[in-house]
Amino acid sequence: MQAMRQAKTQKIQAAGVREKPLLAALAGEQKSRPPLWLMRQAGRYLPEYRALREKAGGFLEMVYNPDLAAEATMQPVRRFGMDGAILFSDILVIPQALGIGLRFAEGEGPVLEAVRPGDPLPVFEKQKLEMRLAPVYETVRRVREGLQAESFSDTALIGFAGAPWTVACYMAEGGSSRDFAKARTWAREDAAGFGRLIDLVTEATIEYLNGQISAGAEAIQLFDSWAGLLVPGGNSHSHSETDTYARWVIEPAQRIISAIRARFPDVPIIAFPRGSGELYAEYARQTGADAIGIDQDISPGWAAENLQKKTAVQGNLDPQSLLAGGAEMGRAARAILDCLGGGPFIFNLGHGVIKETPPEHVAQLVDVVRSWRP
Ligand code: CP3
């Protein structure tokens, strides 16, 4: 704890006074109002995104075209003045850069070449990976320039990657799934083999995040969207189940965070192990992430008590509430702010913006957060 505070103080000193509200909150300082950005703030709920995507022809065509990807990153910043600009890319570019086939089928989500237990794994070749990911790094450079050129000097650029467990879920399944039974079965029946897949993704993810930071990302978010699948249910926690969460969720995050810290001690890391329930506290303690992203199942009061004393917290308005909008959304957002807004806190959703959300509701939410006072 002492060491962590000291490291944080050094970070603040190293950077001088942090001007960008998002970076200030991540350094443990809170300005008068909490910074705000939304997961999936760039996307199909925005008409200007739909127009851009039509022009590109497809989602991956956008991701690998730095002009279009930078434009998609900037769209919600221009419209709403967000404090964070999240890089327009996807967590599944990592399997693709490792040589695994990927496409996005209309109305179906991602389709990958599935990796099965016993299959030979792709070989990690640093140069090939860097070559394939170069357009994403170029997007990062262009967004940094664009933020400057368009005078969004308060907006911080957030890079990201999927956490190894979540990426491995898609790799084992060959696409989306409700329960990712293939990954869970593989992890349970052949932990050594599954561990090699996790190690491969971990190594590639470290390279990828280093590349984003070198190109200008100012903070990083690690998305573990399916961490909750490894949280033991009910109250019959067997030891082996808790170990599973530690092994596939906490350990890879520890490795990624310590590798990034070793090279870029000033770049803060937000970790989002969605669905972790009470294990959020254990995750926060063991990974030492600068901020913890909480989903809508966590009560803000619990987060204030169990997370915010040690790290910054990000979250956690229900995306359904944003979809609905109106007075009820205003009340829900203010209830979160009243609990966590004293800081360090970053306002966000508990998961991504739902594509049917009217952009006007996002504008309303931005007003609610901006006009809130402690
Ligand atoms: O605005 C942003 O958040 C920036 C970019 C971003 C995207 N995906 C763009 C995207 C980010 C940070 C992600 C993360 C991501 N991608 C996650 C983790 C967060 C989460 O939602 O749990 C996951 C699991 C993925 C994998 C993925 N990408 C799926 C399962 C899908 C299909 C479902 C869907 O929403 O269409 C995608 C596609 C995707 N990624 C879109 C966007 C804008 C939609 C593409 C389109 O049709 O235009």
How many separate domains does the chain show? 1
Parallel, antiparallel or unpaired: strands 109-112 and 102-105: antiparallel
79 is catalytic: no
Residue 23 has pLDDT above 50, yes or no: yes
Q: What is the pTM of this model?
A: 0.94
- Number of helices (H), then strands (E), in the chain: 17, 9
The dihedral built from the CA positions of residue 294, 292, 339 and 43, taken in this order, carries a sign that is: negative
Structure tokens at 257: 């965070």
Please tell me the residue having the least CA distance from ligand 1 atom 4: 88
CATH number at residue 203: 3.20.20.210
Residue numbers of the domain that contains 24: 2-371
Angle at 301 between CA 251 and CA 328, to 5 degrees: 115
C-alpha 340/C-alpha 35 separation (Å) is 12
Reported as a single tens digit per residue, the pLDDT across 95-145 is 999 999 999 988 789 999 999 999 999 999 999 999 999 999 999 999 999
Reported as a single tens digit per residue, the pLDDT across 73-93 is 999 999 999 999 999 999 999
50 is catalytic: no
Any atom of ligand 1 within 6 Å of the Cβ of 348: no
Any atom of ligand 1 within 6 Å of the Cβ of 79: no
CA distances from 305 to 3, 284, 315, 339, 355 (A): 21, 13, 15, 10, 33
